[in-house]
Amino acid sequence: MEKALAWPPANLSRSKIVGPVACGSAGPVPGYRGITPPHADTPLHLLLLLDLADADCPVKSDGSTRYLPLFYPLKYGGGGPEVQYAVLSDTEVRILYLSDEAPDAEDHQYVRVAQLPSCPAEILPLRYEEARILAFGDADPYFQPDKADLAILEELEREHPLILIGGDRRLPVNAGGVVCRNPDCEFYSRHLLVDIIASIPPVPVNGADDFWYEYRGGHVDFYFCLCRYCHTIIAFNVAG
C-alpha cells in the first residue's frame, strides 16, 4: 500500500477561501483515474482541488504530489454517504471504502450534474481576530458573539458560507466517531483522531447554486479529514 502524502499536521493553519468560489484551482483541473467505484459507472464528484504548491495552502505535500483532490460521492448514499480513498499521484486515486456501493436511482440522486462547475479560487489566511472568533464558536456551541464579533462573522460569510482549510479544528459533535477503513492501517476499523483538511458547504459557483439540487441552500458541510496514521482521506457530510 503506497502512503499517499505526508502532511505534517503541525503545519496546518486555518485559512479561508474567498470568492468567487471554488471547485477548482487556478489551473486546469487534472483528470483522475480511480474515481469510479468498481462495478459502478458513476464517478465521485470533485469538490475542491487544493494546490499544495500554493504558499497560502495550509496543507503541505511531502513532494510526491502537487495537488490534493477532494472527492465526494454526491450521487450515492441518499445524501449521506461516506468515502475513503488514497491519493496515489496527481493522476490517480484509489477508493478504499464507499458506504454505498451502488449509486442512487437516477431520480433519487441528490445532484443531477455529472460534475460540478469549476472556477478558480484563492486561499486567504484568516486574520487573527477572524480565527479567534471562529475558534470560540467551534469550542463552545453556546458561545454568543458580541456585536463586533458578529460583524466579523457576517463579513466572513458575506458572499457565501465559508470554506475552511486546515487549522487545529474539532469535528462537530454530530459528526460521530470516525473509523479508518484502510485495511493496511494500524488503526483499521478503530475510532481515530483525524486532522480536518477542509469543510465545504454547498457554495455558489460563478453566481449559481442550482447545480447543488437537493443540497442547495442546505445547512450541511462536506468534511474531508486525514487519518493521522495512514493518510487515508475520509469524507462525509455533517448537517449544521
Q: At closest approach, how far in Å is the CB of 177 from Zn ion? A: 14
Identity of the residue, 2 or 157, whose beta carbon is nearer to Zn ion in the bound complex: 2
Using CA atoms, how far apart are residues 173 and 178, in angstroms rounded to an integer?
11
Residues 61-80 that bind Zn ion (CB under 5 A): none
Q: Is the backbone of residue 208 left (phi > 0), alpha (psi -120 to 50) or beta? A: beta
Identity of the residue, 133 or 226, whose beta carbon is nearer to Zn ion in the bound complex: 226
- Binding-site member from 86, 121, 162, 180 for Zn ion (CB under 5 A): 180
CB atoms within 10 A of CB 178: 18
What are the residues facing 237 on neighbouring strands?
Answer: 222
Q: DSSP letter at 5?
A: -
The C-alpha cell of 12 is what?
496546518
Q: At closest approach, how far in Å is the CB of 187 from Zn ion? A: 5
- Binding-site member from 115, 171, 229, 238 for Zn ion (CB under 5 A): 229
- Binding-site member from 35, 44, 46, 227 for Zn ion (CB under 5 A): 227
Q: Is 194 in the site for Zn ion (CB under 5 A)?
A: no
H/E stretch holding 84: strand 83-87
Identity of the residue, 15 or 232, whose beta carbon is nearer to Zn ion in the bound complex: 232
Identity of the residue, 187 or 215, whose beta carbon is nearer to Zn ion in the bound complex: 187
Please state the length of the chain. 240
Using omega within 30 degrees of 0 as the cis cutoff, is the peptide bond preceding 20 cis? yes
Q: Is 230 in the site for Zn ion (CB under 5 A)?
A: yes
Residues near Zn ion (CB under 5 A) are 180, 182, 185, 227, 229-230, 232
